[in-house]
Amino acid sequence: MIYTITLNPAIDKRIILNNFKIDGVNRFNDEREDAGGKGINVSKMIHNLGGNSTALGVVAGSSGYFIKDQLDQMGILHSFTEGDGNTRTNLKIVDPTYQTYTDINEEGRPISDQVLKQLEKNLFGIIKKGDILVLAGSVPNNVSKDIYGRWIKIAKEKDVKVLLDAEGELLMQGILSGPYLIKPNIHELEGLLNKSVQTQAEAIECGKMLLDHDIKIVVISRGSEGCILVSEDKVLHVPGLVVDVKSTVGAGDSMVGALAYAIEMGYSLEEAIVLGVASSTATIQEEGSIMGSLENIMKIKDTVKIHQQ
């Protein structure tokens, strides 16, 4: 089983308006609300691929009920812990006129020590040897930045593979515990190493350096330049695909979901990265927080080119 953790879930509210004016009155043409947060998006992509996962995390209030109800309707298993207050709402403004995508995100609600301990007890009471754990996204400000690192250590003791998708101190502390896979984008990689990474060769060098921390697979997203997968014995490069972009929300989460699914299914690294790129590309062709469909993913897969370095 794949388990996903979202400590900072949200309702992603997308509005579409043309010719967005700052300091002016704007009237939007369309709106949509989706259960969001990186781990939840990962679970949604796994579901679209035909796999199963259980989404865990902390939700609260009427927004929390909305998230659970939407996942129920989609047929996605979940075991959330109830927190205080109300889960946040993130606003996504899409302007087709100027081809802009603006995120206005609320700060995550604090999680009490009691709720966090309850979530941790739930998580490590159900995962077992051979499972996959996805730790994704930010945490509320009152949660220690070493939480992913601590959970990675416990998971590894249970022989659970951990996929980590985070940034800043969360990523740094997590790396020190040696997750199975990390997926930084180029900006997260630069922040992690405190250096500019301009070329493919530089990105590959950085990926190889990170393997020294007992990480088995490093996947580096480079936006329109594609992505790079680095393991102990392979370096794979997949060039970016040129497609019409409707929303960038969930693109990275889609790749993580596809990678988790591929690992559970025993795919080769080549098959895994192709599926990851196809899933991410399919998602950016959808509006709002909608994950790419299986039908479109399969079509895109046939166009993905992979190069071994």
pLDDT of residue 289: 76
What amino acid positions are annotated as catalytic residues?
253
pLDDT of residue 280: 94
pLDDT digits (tens, 9 = 90+) for 142-186: 999 999 999 999 999 999 999 999 999 999 999 999 999 999 999
pLDDT digits (tens, 9 = 90+) for 273-301: 999 999 999 998 887 678 999 999 999 99
What's the CA gap between 268 and 296, in Å, rounded?
Answer: 21
Q: What stretches of the chain show up as alpha helix (H) in DSSP? A: 38-48, 61-74, 113-126, 147-157, 168-176, 186-193, 200-210, 251-265, 269-284, 294-301
Pairing of strands 53-59, 2-6: parallel
What's the CA gap between 30 and 95, in Å, rounded?
Answer: 11
What's the CA gap between 21 and 32, in Å, rounded?
Answer: 21
pLDDT of residue 3: 98
The CA-to-CA distance between both ends of the chain, in Å, stands at: 33
Pick from 217, 137, 142: which is nearest to 170 by CA? Answer: 137
* Long-range CB contact pairs, 183-187, < 8 A, 24+: 183/218, 183/219, 183/220, 183/221, 183/252, 183/255, 183/256, 183/259, 184/218, 184/220, 184/221, 185/220, 185/221, 185/222, 185/223, 185/252, 186/220, 186/221, 186/222, 186/223
* Sites in the chain below the pLDDT cut of 50: none
Do residues 274 and 238 touch, judged by C-beta distance below 8 A? yes
pLDDT of residue 18: 86
**3-state DSSP assignment of residue 129:** coil
Q: pLDDT averaged over the chain?
A: 93
Q: Is the dihedral of CA 154, 65, 249, 105 positive or negative?
A: negative
Domains present along the chain, CATH in parentheses: 2-308 (3.40.1190.20)
pLDDT of residue 193: 87
